[in-house]
C-alpha cells in the first residue's frame, strides 16, 4: 500500500506544536508529508468523526454486546440480568433443537457450496470459452436472482413449491409424473433440500459472473497452445482454467461460506419459519427464536457467538486446506 | 473463435452444454415470468394447472395490493429509507475515505484495521443488540418523547443502514481515492483552494465511478433488506419487504393469491428495471472488487 499522503505544498511548515509522544512515526514520515499538521488535525477529525461515531455505536458496540450478553441470562426487558459465565454454552450441547439447527446449517453449507460453485465454474467456463450466441442475455438472466430480495425469492419459491397450485407439482402433473409430486416445504425429509435449491438459484449467477471475470483475464495463447497439443476442452478446464483462477476461487469460497450462513437464515425464516417442527431450522434462525420468541436473549446471543466462531473456523480451515502455490501467467 | 476439431464428440458436448445453459436460464426466467403473469389472474384461475395464461388483465389485484394491503404506502417508506440511507452513508464515508487515503494522522492504522474487521461483521448477528440498545435509548428519553423516538423511526433505520455499510463503502472509496494522482490536488492547492474545496470539488468528481458503484451496491442492500427493517420498524410503518412478508403470510392462510402476486410484482419490478439499466456497471463493479453478500 503506498501512501500518497503529501498535503498540498505552498503551505507553510508550521511545526511549532510539540509533537506528542506517539507522533514519532508521523514525524519520520514527515519528510514526505510535511506542513500544516496543526490545521490538519481539525480537518481530519471533522472528516473522520461522523463515520467513526456511527461505526462505533452501531457496529462495534453491538458486536461486543453479543459476546457480553452471551454470558448472562436475561429476558431482554427486565432489569434482571444474571451473570452465568459459560452456562449458556454448555446448555447448547444438550439442546436437541440446537443440534438439529447446527446439522441443517452444515448440510446446507456443504450441499449449496458444492453445487453452486461447481455449476458456477462450469457455466463460467462455457460462457468464456465457448462463444455462445446471446451470451449477454444468459448472463443477464442468470444474474437476476441476485438483485431480488430474499423475501421475494422466498415468496417465489413458496409459490413454486405450493402443494396444490404450485408450479412444480403442477408441471409434474402436466407431464403425468404425479408420483414425483411432493409436499416440498412440508416434508421433514426434503425441506432442507428445497431450501438449498432456492439458495443455489439465488447465488448461481453471482458466482458465475465472478468466475467469468477472473477467467477472462487468462491469456488466449495458453488455450491455443494446448489445443495444438490436442487437449480437449474438459482437459483445458482442469489443466489451465482451474489452476489459474485458484486464488479467486479460494477467496470466493471463504466469502461464500460466510454469506451462505446468512442467506440460509433469511430464506428459512421467510419460507418455512424453521418448520415443519423445527426440521429446517438453521443456526441464525434458532438464535432469533431464542431471542425474540423465547425472550432468552443471553442464550440467543450464545448461539450468535457459536455461529460467529463456526463460520470463522470453517473459513479458516477451508482457506488452509485449499492453499496452493500461486500460479502466474 | 477457435474450432478445436470437427469430430462429432465435441459437437455433442457443445449441444449438451448449450442445452444446460438454456435450461438454467429458463429455470430462472420461468418462475419470475410466472409470477408476473399470475398477478393478473382472478381468484378462480389460481386453481388447476399453473401453466394456463390469465384470461384477462385483472388489475384489481394491484389495486388491492397498493391500497388494501398498504403496499403503496410501504413503497414510499422504502424509497424514503433507501434514499436517506444513501445520503447518510455518502455524507460520512466520502470525507472519511478521503482523509484515510490522503492524510497522515495518528491512529490511522487502527482506524483502517477496525474498518476492515467491520467488513466481516454481519448485520444479522448484531440486530438484536442494536434493537435492545435503541429500546434502552427510548426508555431513557421517555420524558421527552413519550411515544418513543428511536424505534419505529424510518430515519433511524436509514442511519443504521448507513452505519452498517460504512466499512464496505470506505474500503471501496479509499482504494479509489488512492488511485487518483496527487498532482490534481497540488495544483488546486496552488490556486488557493481550501482543503474542503479540494475534497468536494476536485476529488469527489474524479471519484465518480467509485461513488456510483457504492451507490448501486448500497441501494440494493437497503432496498432489499428485511431483517433490520423487520426489527426496527415493528409498528404500522413498514418497508416494502416487510410488507410483502406480511402479505405473504396472510394470503397464504387465506388461499387468496392474487394480491400476493401483485405485491411481489410491485417489489420485483423496480429493482428489475434498475438492474436492466445499470447491469453493465453492476457487474463491472462486482468484478472489480465491489463484492458484498
Task: Tell if the CB–CB gap between A66 and B126 is shorter than 8 Å.
Answer: yes
Instruction: Tell me which of B114, B129, B275 to substitute to probe the interface with A (most A C-beta atoms closer than 10 Å).
Output: B129
Whether the complex's predicted ipTM is more than 0.90 is answered with: no
B54 touching A, CB under 8 A?
no
Q: Angle at Cα B69 formed by Cα B65 and Cα B71, nearest 5°?
A: 65
Specify the pLDDT at position A329.
62
Average pLDDT of the segment spanning A119-127: 90
Please identify which residue in the block is written with the cell numbers 449477454: A136
In contact, A130 and A245? CB cutoff 8 Å: no
Average pLDDT of the segment spanning B237-253: 86
- Helix axis angle for A246-271 and B123-140, nearest 10°, is 50
Report the SS3 class of residue B120: coil
In A, minimum Cα distance to B89 occurs at: A51
* Cα dihedral: B157, B159, B163, B168 (round 10): 90
In contact, A324 and A251? CB cutoff 8 Å: no
- Helix axis angle for B208-224 and B71-102, nearest 10°, is 140
With 0-12 / 13-18 / 19 or more C-beta atoms within 10 angstroms meaning exposed / middle / buried, residue A199 is: buried
In A, minimum Cα distance to B258 occurs at: A159
Residue B173 pLDDT grade (very low, low, confident, very high; cuts 50, 70, 90): very high
Contacts of B257 in chain A (CB under 8 A): 159, 165
Specify the pLDDT at position A59.
95
Cα–Cα dist B28/A145, whole Å = 8
Residue A144 pLDDT grade (very low, low, confident, very high; cuts 50, 70, 90): very high
Specify the pLDDT at position B243.
92
Distance from CA of A178 to the nearest CA of B (A): 13
Please identify which residue in the block is written with the cell numbers 454448555: A90
> Which of A8, A33, A141 is facing B104, going by the closest CB pair?
A33
B248 touching A, CB under 8 A?
yes
Specify the pLDDT at position B287.
67
In contact, B103 and A44? CB cutoff 8 Å: yes
Write the CB contacts of A9 (distance below 8 Å, at least 6 apart in sequence): A35, B186, B189, B190
Cα–Cα dist B161/B225, whole Å = 9
Task: Tell if the CB–CB gap between A170 and B122 is shorter than 8 Å.
Answer: no
Distance from CA of A189 to the nearest CA of B (A): 23
- Helix runs in chain B, H state only: 8-38, 60-63, 71-102, 108-118, 123-140, 154-164, 166-179, 183-190, 195-197, 204-206, 208-224, 227-232, 240-254, 258-287
- pLDDT tens across A255-277, in order? 788 888 888 888 888 888 777 77
Listed range (A177-181, B87-91, B242-246) with the worst mean pLDDT: A177-181
Predicted model pTM: 0.85
Task: Tell if the CB–CB gap between A143 and B14 is shorter than 8 Å.
Answer: no
Residue A175 pLDDT grade (very low, low, confident, very high; cuts 50, 70, 90): confident
Listed range (A311-315, B5-9, B18-22) with the worst mean pLDDT: B5-9
Contacts of A255 in chain B (CB under 8 A): 291, 293
Amino acid at each position: 500500500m503506498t501512501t500518497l499522503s503529501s498535503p498540498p505544498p505552498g503551505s507553510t511548515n508550521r511545526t511549532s506544536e510539540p509533537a506528542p509522544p506517539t507522533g514519532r512515526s508521523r514525524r519520520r514520515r514527515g519528510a514526505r508529508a510535511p506542513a500544516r499538521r496543526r490545521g490538519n488535525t481539525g480537518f481530519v477529525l471533522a472528516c473522520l468523526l461522523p463515520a467513526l461515531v456511527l461505526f462505533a455505536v452501531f457496529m462495534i458496540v453491538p458486536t461486543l454486546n453479543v459476546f457480553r450478553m452471551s454470558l448472562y441470562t436475561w429476558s431482554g426487558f427486565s432489569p434482571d440480568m444474571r451473570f452465568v459465565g459459560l452456562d449458556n454454552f454448555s446448555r447448547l450441547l444438550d439442546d436437541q433443537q440446537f443440534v438439529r439447527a447446527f446439522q441443517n446449517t452444515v448440510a446446507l453449507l456443504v450441499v449449496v457450496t458444492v453445487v453452486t460453485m461447481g455449476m458456477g465454474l462450469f457455466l463460467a467456463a462455457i460462457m468464456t470459452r465457448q462463444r455462445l450466441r446471446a451470451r449477454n442475455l444468459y448472463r443477464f438472466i442468470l444474474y437476476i436472482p441476485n438483485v431480488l430480495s430474499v423475501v421475494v425469492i422466498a415468496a417465489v419459491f413458496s409459490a413454486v413449491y405450493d402443494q396444490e397450485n404450485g408450479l412444480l407439482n403442477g408441471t409434474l402433473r402436466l407431464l403425468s409424473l404425479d408420483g414425483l409430486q411432493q409436499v416440498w416445504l412440508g416434508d421433514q425429509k426434503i425441506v432442507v433440500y428445497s431450501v438449498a435449491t432456492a439458495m443455489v438459484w439465488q447465488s448461481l449467477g453471482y458466482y458465475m459472473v465472478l468466475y467469468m471475470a477472473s477467467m477472462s483475464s487468462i491469456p488466449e495463447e495458453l488455450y491455443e497452445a494446448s489445443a495444438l497439443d490436442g487437449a480437449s476442452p474438459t482437459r483445458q478446464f482442469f489443466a489451465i482454467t482451474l489452476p489459474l483462477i485458484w486464488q479467486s476461487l479460494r477467496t470466493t469460497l471463504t466469502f461464500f461460506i460466510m454469506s451462505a450462513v446468512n442467506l440460509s437464515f433469511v430464506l428459512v425464516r421467510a419460507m418455512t419459519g424453521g418448520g415443519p417442527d423445527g426440521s429446517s431450522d438453521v443456526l441464525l434462525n434458532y438464535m432469533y427464536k431464542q431471542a425474540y420468541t423465547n425472550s432468552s436473549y443471553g442464550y440467543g446471543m450464545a448461539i450468535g457467538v457459536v455461529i460467529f466462531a463456526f463460520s470463522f473456523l470453517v473459513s479458516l480451515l477451508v482457506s488452509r486446506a485449499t492453499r496452493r502455490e500461486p500460479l502466474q501467467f | 473463435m477457435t474450432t478445436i476439431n470437427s469430430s462429432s464428440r465435441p459437437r455433442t458436448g457443445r449441444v449438451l452444454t448449450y442445452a444446460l445453459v438454456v435450461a438454467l436460464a429458463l429455470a430462472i426466467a420461468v418462475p419470475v415470468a410466472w409470477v408476473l403473469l399470475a398477478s393478473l389472474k382472478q381468484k378462480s384461475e389460481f386453481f388447476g394447472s399453473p401453466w394456463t395464461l390469465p384470461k384477462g388483465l385483472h388489475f384489481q389485484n394491484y389495486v388491492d395490493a397498493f391500497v388494501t394491503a398498504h403496499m403503496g404506502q410501504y413503497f414510499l417508506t422504502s424509497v424514503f429509507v433507501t434514499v436517506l440511507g444513501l445520503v447518510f452513508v455518502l455524507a460520512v464515508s466520502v470525507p472519511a475515505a478521503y482523509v484515510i487515503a490522503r492524510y497522515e494522522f495518528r491512529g490511522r492504522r487502527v482506524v483502517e484495521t477496525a474498518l476492515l474487521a467491520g467488513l466481516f461483521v454481519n448485520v444479522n448477528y448484531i440486530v438484536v443488540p442494536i434493537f435492545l440498545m435503541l429500546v434502552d435509548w427510548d426508555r431513557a428519553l421517555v420524558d421527552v418523547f413519550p411515544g418513543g423516538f428511536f424505534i419505529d423511526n424510518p430515519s433511524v433505520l436509514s442511519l443504521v443502514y448507513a452505519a452498517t455499510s460504512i466499512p464496505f463503502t470506505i474500503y471501496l472509496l479509499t482504494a479509489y481515492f488512492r488511485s487518483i494522482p496527487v498532482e490534481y490536488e497540488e495544483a488546486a492547492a496552488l490556486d488557493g483552494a481550501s482543503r474542503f474545496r479540494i475534497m468536494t470539488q476536485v476529488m469527489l468528481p474524479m471519484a465518480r465511478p467509485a461513488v456510483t458503484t457504492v451507490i448501486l451496491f448500497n441501494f440494493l442492500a437497503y432496498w432489499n433488506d428485511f431483517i433490520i427493517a423487520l426489527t426496527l420498524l415493528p409498528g404500522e410503518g413498514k418497508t416494502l419487504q416487510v410488507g410483502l412478508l406480511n402479505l405473504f403470510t396472510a394470503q397464504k392462510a387465506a388461499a387468496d393469491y392474487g394480491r400476493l402476486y401483485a405485491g411481489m410484482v410491485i417489489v420485483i419490478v423496480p429493482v428489475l428495471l434498475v438492474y436492466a439499466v445499470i447491469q453493465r456497471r453492476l457487474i463491472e463493479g462486482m468484478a472489480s472488487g465491489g463484492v458484498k453478500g
